[in-house]
Structures are given as structure tokens and as C-alpha cells.
Amino acid sequence: LPSMQTSGSQPCPCPSFRLREVASMYFTMIAVFLVILVVALQGSVPRGSDFPYKVPLDPQGLLELSWNVSYPEQAVHFQLLVRDLQFGLLFGMSDRGEFENADLAVLWSDGHNSYFGDAWSDAKGRLHMDSQQDYQLLGARKAPEGLYLLFRRAFSTCDPKDYLIEDGTVHLIYGILEKPVHSLQAINISAIHRGLQRVQLLKPNITIPELPSNMKTMEITAPDIVIPSQETTYWCYMAELPDGFPKHHIIMYEPVITAGNEALVHHMEVFQCAAEFDSFPHYNGPCDSKMKPNRLNYCRHVLAAWAMGAQAFYYPEEAGLAFGGPGSSRYLRLEIHYHNPLVFEGRRDSSGIRLYYTATLRPYDAGIMELGLVYTPVMAIPPGEDAFILTGYCTDKCTQLALPAAGIRIFASQLHTHLAGRKVVTVLSRDGREQQVVNADGHYSPHFQEIRMLKEVVAVFPGDELITTCTYNTEDRSRATVGGFGILEEMCVNYVHYYPQTQLELCKSSVDPGYLRRYFNLVNRFNDEEVCTCPQVSVPQQFFSVPWNTFNRDVLKSLYDFAPISMHCNKSSAIRFPVGTASQP
């Protein structure tokens, strides 16, 4: 059998591992016959039942990835099911799903023999065998449904060619080889069937709370709709609670996916409507349809959110999310994002979310608080920026006024930006010193937003600060991107889930508008082009007329770094706590 040798490990303070087995498989055009030569490894090969997380990689469901996370070993075990193996495949990770500068495990065949190895791609997409083999092949087995490959990868390998697996979003990439190749270097990644999938690989190791015996379930699902034959659809469906439905606590929820549609249902959310309206119209159709009633825009209070690859969401045993009862709308809106790049026709779907709830109320109501930046055009990003940073503050003055003496406990978080967002992080600061990271995503994607349970509960006390920083990329834009609600405008938000619920619903900031006027005056002093500062010209129009040279960019960055901020410390009734303007921490 042909064998693949790997070079010795490079000196490194971190543990590094080498490929310790050789897999050889003989292919025919019709079937795959496997002969696996496995050299003994430290530890045992995980069983199929040991992989709790699962996601389809491609829209057809030909590749299905399952995995588990070992924090003691600081490693991820992968199980990849290949339903129709031809002449090999690529699987790996990259910064944002590119096939250039990617870290890859590659299985390839020359038509006679097969080879497995750890590889990397350069800036031109050419493949190279990695001198340090860190994807460890643990085994392979043939089953009626396809070929299973089991392999292991440490979080950190100290190999500069390897991707560092960390908390937050990971962009997984895959490619399918449909023809034999005589060498790794002969693989042309631009000519193969390929794609990407986003997941949170490093799931938190959380103890599942005991569920009460009187727990009930409610399914909020699409009513057997036909998925539109287009790549992207947001589908809205209105549901309602029974008349007179009393207050309950939601204590967990999980996805309900129609069999066969696992690769099409991208993410789902259930929103509760505003209580000030007595009724909402029934609707079942695309969210962007002109037929959708405007009143549905008042259904924005998130009850549940799921994204592909996520498991069931559990509330801490001390708290539940209240719904039903006085002051609570009985109208709910289900929103499903269908991703159908192969434009399948006639697919019917009844997916949605199953709520688990109880009439035995837990000690605390859970609450949701918005952190970050106010939705305002005074916060803007110049065009052509690769990593422009904006920061929003929940100040010590606000938490001092609004939080109880015993503080609150944050147990989950949902980060949110629009299309230019690339990184989001929220940190807790106390007495001017950073205490801990609440949630961070260094590979954030606006196309993959889910409520994530935190690895550990974060305690926030009166006088603490919560600082949310977003990094944006506007290299593909020719004019400024301002803050706002539009998809081409920007946001910087962290929806934190916490208990006990307080009156504080929004704790955000923006730069003081008076200092922005000074910025536009300064631009006019040093540039030929005039930015009109007259009252009738809007802030977005002023930003659009700025000539974006290096000076104007740097001054705007300095303004956002040092100018006083306008603090929004709002109750759920939209009445503000009296905090006013503040200096930046």
C-alpha cells in the first residue's frame, strides 16, 4: 500500500500531534472498497453516539458533520459522513470561508490508491502538504448510508499554517473531488464543487437543568408551506396563544425540522408582539412581501432563536422566560430563513420551534437587555475600511441607577450587526478595569446569529460597565455607512439574557451629536469640498459628502475614541433613567 510520511513536529510550547495512521482505499467507478490500516493511537476512537452536535455541510446533504468537544484535551473530534464518495474531498476552516489561506484535511484518490493528509492553501489557492500533521485520522468505516471518517484536531497547534479554533463562529469549508487526481498539488480548488457552512464548534459544557414533571410543550411551526424556489427566503407566520393563557415560564426550546429539509432551514426565530395592540392580522407568507401587514413589524420581542448547528436551549434552573398573562401579547410571529442555493422546487416544510414551558413559575423572570450602540446615523464607518471599530457603552451611572443591589446574572447572549460586521465583543469592566469577557466572536458573520449560552454565568453589579465593540469591513463600499435600521446601515448590539428581570431594557450609547457638528466644521476647514452643516441637511447626507482622505478618517476615529457620549439608559416603557451625557470610560 502506498504510504504518506509526515515530518517531525516543530518545537512549540503547545502540545502538537502527528498523523499516526495510514488509510488506504481502493476505488472503482461504481463502489468504494475500503482497506484501512490504523496504527494504535493514544486514547480510544469515539463511538458514533459520542457526537452530540450535527450539521449538514452542503445543500444536498451529501456531507454531514458531527462533532464533540473535549475541553480537558483541548481538542475537537469530528465524524464526517460522506454519502456518495467519488474521488475524495476537502474539509477545513478559514477566516471567513475563503478557500485561500485555508487549513484543510484532504482525502484524495488517483483512481487506484487514496491518501489522507493535513494541508493548507496559499493566497492563490494552491494546496501544500503541511509539514506538521495536526488533523489526526482516527478511523474510517463503510456503512449503508455512506463512508464515515473520524479525525481529531487540537484547538491550538502552534502551527502558523493552522487555523486557531476558538470561541464564536467558525467558517467550515468543503470541496468534493469528482475526478481522480495524481497528487495533492494537482487539485484545482476553483474547479471543484465546494461551499461553506458556519457553526459554533466550541459548544459550552453546561449541565442540563432538571426539568419539572408538569412541563408542557407548544410547537410554533410553519403550516406545511411550499419553500419558494429561490436562494433566500424569509418566511413569516403568525400564531397565537389560547385566549386567557396565564403567565408561564419558558424553560427550554429546541428546533423542529421537517425531515429532508435539514440543509435548507438556516435559522428560525419566534417573536412576541407588542402588548399595546389588541389584535394582529393572520399572515403566512414571505416577510418581504408587499402583502405583509405593517403591524407585524411590532412583533420584535425575541422568545426563541435557533441557527443551524445549535442544539436545545436551556434556561438556568433559577429562571424562566415569562410569556402569557396580563401585559403580555398572545400573538407570536415565527420567522424562518430558508437557504435554497440549488433552487429546489416543491419542497414542503413544517419546521419551527418547540417551546417547553411550565405553570410552576421559577424564582426569577429572565430578561433581555440591549447593549452596544444606539441606532443613529451619528455613528458611521468610512468607505474602504478593512477593520473600523465602533464602541458602545453601558456606563457605571446607568447600572448604578437601574440594577438591584444584588446585581444580575447574564447566562446567554446574541450578537448582532448588519452586513459590514466582522467582529463583536462585550467586556465587563469594574472600577475602570476589565474583569472578564461576556461574549466574543472574532469571526462573526451577520449570516449566522444565534442565542448562545455562556460557558459561565457573568455577574453584573451596580456601578459596573458593559462595553461592546464592533469591527466593520467596508472595503466594497464607495460611501459612508451610517448607523440605522436599514440592511445597508449598521448596528452594534449584544442582546444579553439575564435574571432577575429589571426595568432596564436598553443600555447603549452614541457620540454626543454636538461634537459631530464640530467634526464636520473641521472637515470644511481642511478640505475644498464643503459639507453642508445647515439644519435641513441630514447627518447621513453630511457623511456622504465627506471626502474620505486619511486625515478625515483619522479625525473621525479620534472623535469616536475621545468625544463625550450620549447615554441611553431606557426602561421597557422607553422612559430613560436620568444619566445624560458622559465622558468615555
Q: Do the Cβ atoms of 472 and 422 come closer than 8 Å?
A: yes
β-partners of residue 270 are 304, 334
β-sheet bridge partners, residue 368: 497
Let me know how many helices (H) and strands (E) the chain has, helices first. Answer: 4, 39
How many angstroms separate the CA atoms of 338 and 285, rounded?
Answer: 13
- Active-site residue, 234 included: yes
CA 188 remoteness from chain centre: 30
Alpha carbon distances (Å) from 38 to 15, 115, 134, 250, 317? 22, 13, 16, 48, 45
Which cell numbers in the block locate residue 79? 465524524
The answer to whether the peptide bond before residue 383 is cis (omega within 30 degrees of 0) is no
Q: Phi/psi zone of residue 45: left (φ > 0), alpha (ψ -120 to 50 degrees), beta?
A: beta
State whether residue 298 is helix, strand or coil: helix
Please check whether residue 64 is in contact with residue 83, taking contact to mean a CB–CB distance below 8 angstroms: yes
Contact call for residues 254 and 268 (beta carbons, < 8 A): no
Pick the catalytic residue: 283, 416, 447, 515?
416
Give yes or no: 416 in active site. Answer: yes
Measured CA distances, 341 to 231, 233, 288 (Å): 4, 11, 19
Asked if residue 228 lies in contact with residue 340, where contact means CB atoms within 8 angstroms, the answer is: yes
Handedness of CA 355, 359, 364, 369 (dihedral sign): positive
Q: How far apart are CA 293 and CA 23, in angstroms?
A: 59
* Contact call for residues 477 and 379 (beta carbons, < 8 A): no
The widest CA-to-CA distance across the chain, in whole angstroms, is 79
| Rounded-to-integer distance, Cα 100 and Cα 97, Å | 9
- Supply 515's cell numbers: 461634537
C-alpha closest to that of 132 among 304, 262, 265, 10: 10
Q: Is 81 helix (H, G, I), strand (E, B) or coil?
A: strand
Of residues 234, 283, 298, 515, which has the active-site annotation?
234
Rounded alpha-carbon distances, angstroms, from residue 231 to 287, 326, 530: 15, 41, 43
3-state secondary structure 531-563: CCCCCCCCHHHHHHCCCCCHHHHHHHHHHHHHC
The x, y and z cell numbers of residue 298, run together, are: 411590532
DSSP 200: -
Cell, residue 104: 484543510
Residue 135 and residue 89: Cα distance in Å, rounded? 14
Active site residues: 234, 416
